[in-house]
Structure 1
Amino acid sequence: MKVRVEITEGCGEACAVIYASAVTEEVQKALELLGAAGTVIAAWEGDTLRIVQPEELYMVRIEGGETLLYGRNQRYRSRKRLYEIAQQLGNRFLQISKTTLVNLSYLDSVEAGFSGTLSLKLKNGCRDYVTRKYLKAFRNYLGI
């Protein structure tokens, strides 16, 4: 990979641009090193590696040992663990169970569930439960 640095006086915050014909492992590592990994997620849709913006994601869930990312009408796979994706997504997402993160800006409704849990429905139709362990953080987020 060729690297070039240009020093410009009066330039505010540093900015990095990567030109590539595809997102390779080398490009993915460069994204992570440069801190861009906090703003985009690399995920597989079938055999194609897609770059997904966090705003496009509704939910991240572990199912059958696989990390799945749910968009409005899409489902992506990631090779990363839930805690790694949570670090990338930052405070946009809230963990509601041992296996699930949700983007609360896409929250449609909340219903009382069994044994003190809450059932969440997202605007794309996905549903999951807030378990007791994560209930306090969820209520604090909502201010209730």
Structure 2
Amino acid sequence: MKIHINQQGDIAETEITINCKQISPEIEKIISLLRVMDLKLTGMKDNQTYILDVGKILYIDTVDKRTFFYTKTEVYETPLKLYELEERLSANDFLRANKSCIIHFKIQSIKADLDGKLLVTMNNGERLYISRQYAGDFKEKLGVK
């Protein structure tokens, strides 16, 4: 892979062009990383790449070493790892819920469970558990005691 940087003082906006024979998983990952900087993420669905606004993502989950974005009605796969997304999205109202899930604070309700876990109902009606390990951080960020 070759990288060329053309720095000019009179350029109004940064532009990135990717020249490739075909889109590979590595190229998908590069595109995803660039989109995070612009608060957009790319996700794959039905062999097509979609550009998603971060604000539409309800939660991110990892299943069988594959990472997925869940919106109100759709599911998209991403080549990014959960820890990469956690680092980039923590300032944008996303917080780790358990070892395989990051939740966006688009929730309807939150309920404490007997064993210290929290049960969260998302805006789309799905219910997710926040483990005891992350419950304190979650409550603190929400301002709940």
SS at match of 1:110: strand
Q: How far does the alpha carbon of each residue in 1:107-129 deviate from its partner, in whole angstroms, 9 at most, with x for none?
A: 11011224111100110122211
Aligned AA (2:30): K
Tell me if structure 1 keeps the 8 A contact 2:28–2:79.
no
Q: CA RMSD in A?
A: 2.9
Q: 1:138 to 1:90 in 2, by over 3 A?
A: closer
- Note the C-alpha offset of 1:87: 2.1
CA contact (8 A) 1:41 1:88 kept: no
Query: CA, structure 1 residues 46+74, in 2 after alignment: closer, same or farther (shift >3 Å)?
Result: same
Residue 46 (structure 1) shift: 1.8
4+ long deviations beyond 6 Å: none
Structure-to-structure mapping, 1:43-122, within 5 angstroms: 43-92=43-92, 93-104=94-105, 106-122=106-122
| Number of aligned residues | 137
Task: Give the alignment's TM-score, normalised by structure 2.
Answer: 0.77
In the TM superposition, what are the counterparts of 1:6-17 in structure 2 within 5 Å? 6-8=8-10, 15-17=13-15
In structure 2, stretches of 5+ residues that fail to align are: none
2-structure distance, mates of 1:7, 1:129:
50
Contact 2:29 2:80 in 1 (8 A): no
TM-score when normalising by structure 1: 0.77
Q: 1:43 touches 1:76 (CA, 8 Å); kept in 2? A: yes
Query: Structure 1 residue 83: deviation in Å?
Result: 0.4
Runs of 5+ consecutive residues of structure 1 not aligned to the other structure:
none
| Amino acid across the alignment from 1:99 | S
Q: Which has the larger helix fraction?
A: 1
* Alignment of structure 1 residues 16-55 onto 2, 5 Å: 16-18=14-16, 24=23, 26=27, 29=30, 32=33, 36-38=35-37, 39-55=39-55
